Structure 1
């Protein structure tokens, strides 16, 4: 697990040195683009728009266009010089309830791990947040952007979620007409939800399409013929009350025994 960033959480007079580790990884199978005629790999080259010369990453610098074909070059040293110590730390602005924040505001997730000397203050903050059922909202500069953050306590540590600003969130593209529902229909839907209510166990979920994709690739590598997947049977359209009732009966028969699990974060 590679270190994403070393920084400091600061609130009031308390400073907690931490390292941020990326919490997610992409396990999806990726494909290369090939030339259809001979299956050779397609390559993309970066070239200079002025002289046509092929350019390597070492030859590229950042430039800001301030007029037609006019740029100022900005180096990493330039960007570091304008950062204050406050910009380089995570400044906690206030505390809030987790359920007050819509998931649409969350972006990337990091594990926060205390660095040497920060263990006691880190655990104190984590324990206090857990006890108060709160999260911390903070800010820091990551790259060239001042980033909004949520610090979320867990039983085994803390997560840091980068967040979008309100200006980054798009409006709902289209509203829908909310039809009236009867008390009976609502109660049936609630009963169905209750019949399917079990604790969330992430180990139970697998990317089934990726599993089938790996099997397909193994079959192709072995020179075997690809077997067509069987089409799923489409159920007939029935009355919503009949569908709810049938679903409740099905899930009541097959519902597993609930397992009790301790919460890993604030509720």
Structure 2
């Protein structure tokens, strides 16, 4: 657990919650020493008296405010505390705001707030209320002889105090030369580019997992240091190389769609090599159905290979044709056949037979 750097209380309205402040971040920079290249002796940060040019001990150093030329008022930690005792012992909440409305560039250093003796109940009350309302508390707090604006935020079961920069410490964005987000013409972003870029963003989206990220550059530097130790070149400075290409200057037309398409293709290759790390249940079910269908088709294919004659015969059987209409045939035949004589009545038939016999006699 990190050390306690401050003790006090959270106050808002009439509520007073005893808390302690612990650092929520730590530096992982390399610990380097300054050396005199002539004899490898360490070079320290000496405290020099500007009048005599001689170093002085830390115990003889005090703080002073210059109110006139060469005239100072001496100050120590007790002076800073008595200037405003309450301010140095409280996180004074002055208002609540929507947590998402605070621009990220205002945040500075995070700290954990932990309830002190008899502070559990008030701590839990404030935490539950802020969680329900979705608000962040803006507060004023004095740390290391300086007053800070701070944002108190809910994270998990804890309250986090993040010191902030005052408005006059933040440079206005209006001074930047940036494209207007509301104008596609000004930003140069076209609908097709935005669509493909959105696909790439969605493809790269994953759950927040900070443990998977680390300072790889520090690892590379440590590997280089160890290599110099193993090679016995600890006192040799590396000479600059000239094989690096100079940065290109001048305007260059970039096909953003082609770059995005290539990026999506590279992402696809990576996914094929290591598998999808995140599969949604619906996608898994669909993949399972497709696998079953593929297995069925494979089994059917194996069955066809085992009995080729039967399936070959089935293939040769012509498809059934719909029954032909006989009415159309009769009509066509009647059109080309000679006309038949109409049927004769019995009397007419007898008369014709008699006439025939008389002609024969």
User: Is the TM value for this pair above 0.5?
Assistant: yes
Structure whose residues are more often helix by fraction: 2
Contact 1:198–1:259, Cα closer than 8 Å, also in 2: no
How far, CA to CA, are the matches of 1:41 and 1:19 in structure 2? 38
How far, CA to CA, are the matches of 2:47 and 2:87 in structure 1? 37
How far, CA to CA, are the matches of 2:187 and 2:60 in structure 1? 60
Structure 1 position 198, deviation (Å): 0.6
How far, CA to CA, are the matches of 1:225 and 1:108 in structure 2? 39
How far, CA to CA, are the matches of 2:106 and 2:266 in structure 1? 36
CA displacement, residues 194-248 of structure 1 (integer Å, 9 cap, x when unaligned):
111111211000111111111222222333679xxxx8xxxxx862111111212
Secondary structure of residue in 1 paired with 2:34: coil
State the match for 2:221 in structure 1. Answer: 213
Identify which of 191, 195, 199 aligns with 2:199.
191
Q: Which has the larger radius of gyration?
A: 2
- Coordinate RMSD, CA, aligned: 2.9
Secondary structure of residue in 1 paired with 2:168: helix
How far, CA to CA, are the matches of 2:193 and 2:208 in structure 1? 26
How far, CA to CA, are the matches of 1:95 and 1:217 in structure 2? 49
State the match for 1:257 in structure 2. Answer: 277
Contact 2:7–2:89, Cα closer than 8 Å, also in 1: no
- In structure 1, list runs of 5 or more residues that go unmatched: 232-236, 261-267
Identify which range, 203-212 or 52-61, moves more after superposition.
52-61
1:248 pairs with 2:264? yes
State the match for 1:116 in structure 2. Answer: 117
Q: How many residues align?
A: 258
The structure-2 alpha-carbon separation of the partners of 1:15 and 1:40, relative to structure 1 and needing over 3 Å to count, comes to same
Runs of 4+ in 1 over 6 A off after TM superposition: none
The structure-2 alpha-carbon separation of the partners of 1:97 and 1:58, relative to structure 1 and needing over 3 Å to count, comes to same
State the match for 1:264 in structure 2. Answer: none
- In structure 2, list runs of 5 or more residues that go unmatched: 180-185, 235-243, 245-252, 281-361
CA displacement, residues 114-173 of structure 1 (integer Å, 9 cap, x when unaligned):
111111111221122112222111112223322111011011311100001101101345
The structure-2 alpha-carbon separation of the partners of 1:250 and 1:114, relative to structure 1 and needing over 3 Å to count, comes to same
How far, CA to CA, are the matches of 1:60 and 1:259 in structure 2? 63
Output aligned runs, 1:161-180, within 5 Å.
Answer: 161-172=162-173, 173-177=175-179, 178-180=186-188
State the match for 2:92 in structure 1. Answer: 91
How far, CA to CA, are the matches of 1:153 and 1:28 in structure 2? 29
Structure 1 position 86, deviation (Å): 4.5
